[in-house]
Chains A and B, each alone.
Chain A
Amino acid sequence: MKSLHEFLTMGGYAAYVWPAYAVAAAVMIANAVLPGGRLKRLKAEIRRRKGAGA
């Protein structure tokens, strides 16, 4: 890569390369974040039920 301009336009293929990387980022962020959220919610739910003396 010789310049930022070349990086951004990807030699004319920007319309394909960047959406591809965007989708990859979306999928990977979703995979990273969603289980963590579910784990937190699960823990909270279990604590709540134990606290209520279930």
Chain B
Amino acid sequence: MDKHSWAWFHRFASPPYLYKVAGLLTPWFAWSAALLIAAGLYGGLWSSPPDYQQGDGFRIIYIHVPSAYLSMMCYGIVALASAVGLIWRLKLAHAVAVAAAPLGASFTLLALITGSLWGKPMWGTFWVWDARLTSELILLFLYLGFIALTRAYEDQRSGDRAGAVLALVGVVNLPIIHYSVVWWNSLHQGSTKFFGNDAEIPASMLVPLLLMIFGFTCFFAACLLKRIQVEVLERERNATWVAEVLR
């Protein structure tokens, strides 16, 4: 493994490079998101037929599932960025983690709210302690804890690293938490699954859902890149490269 092959990786350790690349990539993701979500909404809200059991109420799935998926993927990004930051001592990796966390928290909140609204007509209450919603709630707490810890430190570098340790402890704990919640739920609610059997999703429902998932992911990427730019600029505001770039 020669040094040259890792050059691409080490270039991202340079703040101006990351700032520039993020700025270049954002419009691509933004436009892809717009197209994919538009297509997904057309398929999801208009052309796909109502569900046999849930009527048109099931259509919330087209925002609930992408949000839930992103909320978990984003935590993975926070944990991965934290690990990279701690192991290779890259400050920029911590900037990525700090930028991503509030974004992930917002999608977690969205997953909880849409899950609630989906549940009310089906189960009568705005909240059920089913495995998935409960896990999402705990995930929200993990996000908020990370954000609170990184902001509690006066020294940003230490705050970054403290948050990184917490994120790694959290990501290892996450499968344990999820398993314990599923186990707990199975003991107390028998076999009734709140979100039904998602093993059989008809194609007419699956295609718009996939479009929405990809669209949301592109949207997430665009927002994250923007946030990374803000984070980098804030941290590097006195650097000479900043003055160059802003001229």
Interface of A with B (CB < 8 Å)? 1, 6-7, 10-13, 15-17, 19-21, 23-24, 27-28, 30-32, 35-36, 38-39, 42-43, 46-47, 50
What 0/1 readout, one digit per residue, does chain B (153-185) give for beta carbons within 8 Å of chain A? 000000000000000000000000000000000
A20 and B63 form a contact (CB under 8 A): yes
B233 and A13 form a contact (CB under 8 A): no
| A-B Cβ contacts below 8 A, count | 90
A43 to B45, CA, bound (A): 40
A17 and B56 form a contact (CB under 8 A): yes
Task: Specify the main secondary structure of chain B where it touches its partner.
Answer: helix
Tell me the count of chain B residues lying within 8 A, CB to CB, of chain A.
37
| Contact residues in A for B226 (Cβ distance below 8 Å) | 35-36, 39
Known: A17-B56, A24-B110, A27-B110. A11 touches B50 (CB 8 A): yes
A46 to B229, CA, bound (A): 14
B229 and A31 form a contact (CB under 8 A): no
Interface of B with A (CB < 8 Å)? 30, 45-47, 50, 55-57, 59-60, 63-64, 67, 103, 106-107, 109-110, 113-114, 117-118, 120-121, 219, 222-223, 226-227, 229-230, 233-234, 237, 242-243, 246
A7 to chain B, nearest CB (A): 7
| Contact residues in B for A47 (Cβ distance below 8 Å) | 246
